[in-house]
Amino acid sequence: MAKAPKTPQEVFPEFLGDLKGLYGGALQSVILYGSGARGDYVPGKSDINFLVVLAQEAPGDLEKALPLVPKWKKRAVAVPLFMTKAFIGSSLDVYPVEFLNMKRHYEVAFGEDVFRDLVFDRESLRRQCERELKGKRMLLRTGLLSTEGRAEDLRRLMAASITAFLSVFAALLEIKGTAIPGSRREIVSAVAEAYGFRAEPFLQCIDLREGKKDVPLAELKETFKSYTEQIEKLIGAIDKLAA
C-alpha cells in the first residue's frame, strides 16, 4: 500500500508526468488548492486537491484519466477538477465563491497562473452568498428533525455544517472589501463584526468540529437555536446589500 505523501509537493513529479503523458501540449495548467496550498495539509488525513486546466474541451478527455484515478487516490490525490480557461472566465458570475476560495490559497504546479488576474463582481458574490446561506439554513432545519433529538447526531450536524458556512464567510468579507484573516475563528469574528451578528454560536460549532464532545443535549439545543437565529440575521443583512 502506498504511503501518504509527507507534503503535496512530493506528488508533483508523478502527477504531472501522468498528465503530460495523457494530454501533451493540451495541458495548460495544474494548480494545487485546498489544505495543501493553505499549509495545513496533514499526511494520512488530508486530500491533495488539483485543478487541471486543458487548452480546450474535447470528447474523451476525462475518459483518458479514468485508469489513473485509483493510482492517484493511493497517493492521497483527490479526483481532480478538469476545466478550461474559457470555462473559468465564463463562470465567475455563477461560481464566484468557489473560485474566490481557490484563489485565496493556491500554488501553480505547472504552466500558466490562471487565477492571478481573476476579478470578482460584488453583486455576483452577494447573490451566491444569499443563495448558499438560505440553502444551508433549510438543510439545517431538515437535519435537526433527522437527529430525532439525539445529542450525538445534533453534535455531528453542527460540526459538519460550519465548514460550509466558512467557505461563504470569506466571500462576505470580500464583498465588504475587508481583509480575509487566515484562521477560521478570525474569519467568523470578522464577518460577525462586519454584518452585525453574534459570532459565539459559530465559534461553538468550530469547537464541535475540532473534537469537543462532552456537551450535554440541553446545551447543544441552545447553541443550535442561537446558531440558526444568527444565520437569519446574517441573511437579512445580505438582503439589504442587494443592488
Q: What is the pLDDT of residue 243?
A: 58
User: For 11-57, what is each residue's pLDDT tens digit?
Assistant: 999 999 999 999 999 999 999 999 999 988 999 999 999 999 999 98
Do both 105 and 133 map to the same domain? no
Q: Is position 88 within any domain?
A: yes
Do both 79 and 127 map to the same domain? no
Domain boundary among 43, 76, 111: 111
Kindly tell me if the per-residue pLDDT of 1 is higher than 60. Answer: no
Structural domains counted in the chain: 2
d(C-alpha 122, C-alpha 174), whole Å: 8
Q: Is position 1 within any domain?
A: no
Q: For residue 99, what are the domain limits?
A: 8-111
pLDDT band of residue 3 (cuts 50, 70, 90) is confident
Q: Is position 216 within any domain?
A: yes
User: For 160-217, what is each residue's pLDDT tens digit?
Assistant: 999 889 889 999 999 999 999 988 999 999 999 999 999 999 999 999 999 988 899 9
Do both 95 and 126 map to the same domain? no
Q: Is position 117 within any domain?
A: no
Domain boundary among 59, 88, 111: 111
Do both 78 and 133 map to the same domain? no
Kindly tell me if the per-residue pLDDT of 150 is higher than 60. Answer: yes
Do both 40 and 129 map to the same domain? no
Domain boundary among 66, 84, 111: 111
Q: Is position 57 within any domain?
A: yes
Kindly tell me if the per-residue pLDDT of 121 is higher than 80. Answer: yes
